[in-house]
Amino acid sequence: MQAGHLLSEWRRNRRLSQLDLAVRAEVSSRHLSFVETGRAQPSAGLLQRLAEALDLSCRDTNHLLVAAGHPPRFSETRLDDPAMAPVRRALEVMLENHSPYPAAVLDAHWNLLLANPAQQALIQAVVAEGGPLPQTGNMVELVFHPEGFRPFIANWETVAGFLLRRLRRDLDTRPDTVLRALYQRLSELADVDALLEHTPASVEPMLTLELDIAGRRLRTFSTLACFGTAVDVVVEELRIEHYFPADDATRAFFEEAGGFDRTEGPESV
């Protein structure tokens, strides 16, 4: 996709006119129009200003620059690279300190990268009851898959509808082919239109995930954290999800002696 086309798509996704974006980036609307239509070749500096005005991620900024023939601005370092040792240690500390409750590290496309022992044990409990999971590390896809987590989620329609709306929101703000492919896979696993319309009233302050495992009903809610000063594509996209018990019975399940081995560290998945 050409840089001008990308720029135009991101601008429309954010419901900005050419004049709106031009004012934000301090460029003439006429020149912006020429860039979007391919009549002008934008400099790297101009594209970076436009990316900042659109609040593009590190990955999308790189994509825009490369599409225009410029080198990427931000690095994209693998999590297992030696340079990422401080980041990986920070992730391990966050996961370890959350024991005995589940915690995991996900990428921008909801793929599982790291999990603490409680998270691993929860997944293994699902495997023990339902058999091997589908060959995917994508947590959203596992929620939707009939051979994944779906049979164990008591309020599956509510959870699935919530995840779909979040995914749609992500797609509305950035043209991402991987997220589009994920959305397509989900539409093959469930009636997404019906799920998007499923918005049951709730008196609780947040969505609760209800799991039926080993004859027990577990109720949890989660928080998502990220690095606030990231200047690397991979680091910016990392999401740390912490699960908390929503009732005393769930708290007791996670804290009961011998339930999970707290001496083990987080593992890559």
Instruction: With a cut of 70, say whether residue 263 has pLDDT above it.
Output: no
How high is the pLDDT of residue 201?
A: 63
- What is the band of 268 on the pLDDT scale with cuts at 50, 70, 90? low
Q: Which residue(s) pair with 223 in the sheet? A: 242
Instruction: With a cut of 50, say whether residue 261 has pLDDT above it.
Output: no
**Residues ≥6 apart with Cβ < 8 Å to 83:** 77
Question: Residue 156's closest CA among 195, 214, 104, 202?
Answer: 195
CA–CA gap between residue 25 and residue 181 (Å, rounded): 32
Q: Is 106 helix (H, G, I), strand (E, B) or coil?
A: strand
How high is the pLDDT of residue 246?
A: 96
pLDDT in tens, 147-160: 999 999 999 999 99
CA–CA gap between residue 31 and residue 39 (Å, rounded): 9
How high is the pLDDT of residue 175?
A: 73
pTM assigned to the model: 0.86
CA–CA gap between residue 71 and residue 156 (Å, rounded): 44
Query: Where is average pLDDT lowest: 132-146, 155-169, 190-204, 205-219?
Result: 190-204
How high is the pLDDT of residue 182?
A: 96
**Residues ≥6 apart with Cβ < 8 Å to 266:** 91, 92, 95, 96, 105, 114, 115, 116, 117
**Residues ≥6 apart with Cβ < 8 Å to 177:** none
